[in-house]
Amino acid sequence: RGLVSSAGRAREDSWLKSLFVRKVDPRKDAHSNLLAKKETSSLYKLQIHNVKPECLEAYNKLCQEVLPKIHEEKHYPCALVGTWNTWYGEQDQAVHLWRYEGGYPALNEVMNKLRQNKEFTEFRKERGNMLLSRKNQLLLEFSFWNEPVPREGPNIYELRSYQLRPGTMIEWGNYWARAIRFRQDNNEAVGGFFSQIGQLYMVHHLWAYKDLQTREDIRNAAWHKPGWDELVYYTVPLIQEMESRIMIPLKISPLQ
């Protein structure tokens, strides 16, 4: 019993130390410069719309008519990465992910042009009547994650969102730069992002699976890989809140 008690105290001490000891050296630079991809200047926008339950079908139809025109029109320096309805998680919810090639100048260019687009103005007005609430975030992608590219389906998608403790983003990035290698075998890693505007210290991981059972099998298999448990052990104390959405892509989504 003494050995067990001693081992338990050692684990507890190690866990407590992980809460307070930083594993990275102080840097006089923004975490966006340390963690984001250097070879690209893409900016991402994540839109989350809570739709009136009776309007979801009409909302989806409207989006499928209008969003591809923006995505395909070279006049706009942006691309629709994916568009989904939440299946498990908050219900009657739509999630859209856009990429702006060229960062903030591209975002401003698109917004200015869309204000002059009468069809889009009418779309926003009609869409607004269908919504209970909406929010968005501007994101950068982690340098060590895959860049999200179109993929064939059918797939389900999981958006795992983490609210980190302020000041822990660099530490999170350092751990996940190693952790991501444990989750590449089945091509499930789609993209990883961190917020710049909107709710801050937010991280989003986007995964693709064939179905819920495949998701369960892949996630369980990670625990049998040496090192995965340690990385989870050290990243969990960095999290204040976390949320998982299981999502189904709309027909127009490049991520199927």
Q: Specify the 3-state DSSP secondary structure of 147.
A: coil
pLDDT at 160: 98
pLDDT at 35: 80
- Identify which of 203, 204, 208 has the alpha carbon closest to the alpha carbon of residue 255: 208
**CA–CA dist 117, 123 (Å, integer):** 10
pLDDT at 19: 42
pLDDT at 32: 64
- Identify which of 83, 50, 90, 42 has the alpha carbon closest to the alpha carbon of residue 196: 42
pLDDT at 30: 60
Architecture of domain 42-249: 2-Layer Sandwich (3.30)
pLDDT at 139: 96
pLDDT at 38: 64
pLDDT at 185: 86
Position 136: which residue type?
A: N
The two tokens of residue 213 are 């059972």
- Identify which of 129, 120, 123, 140 has the alpha carbon closest to the alpha carbon of residue 44: 140
pLDDT at 15: 47
Place of tokens 């210290």: 201
pLDDT at 5: 47
pLDDT at 123: 96
The two tokens of residue 44 are 């991402």
This prediction has a pTM of 0.86
Q: Could you give the maximum distance between any two Cα atoms of the chain, in Å?
A: 75
**CA–CA dist 105, 82 (Å, integer):** 22
**Length of the chain measured in residues:** 256
Spatial contact of 231 and 179, defined as CB atoms under 8 Å apart: yes
Q: How far are the Cα atoms of 10, 61, 109 from residue 5, in angstroms, in the given order?
A: 9, 61, 63
* pLDDT tens series, the chain, 256 aa: 444 444 445 445 544 444 444 444 444 556 666 687 665 568 999 999 999 999 999 999 999 999 999 999 988 999 999 999 999 999 999 999 999 988 999 999 999 999 999 999 999 999 999 999 999 999 999 999 988 999 999 999 999 999 999 999 999 999 999 999 999 889 999 999 999 999 999 999 999 999 999 999 999 999 999 999 999 999 999 999 999 999 999 999 999 9
Residues near 168 by beta carbon (within 8 Å), at least 6 away in sequence: 201, 238
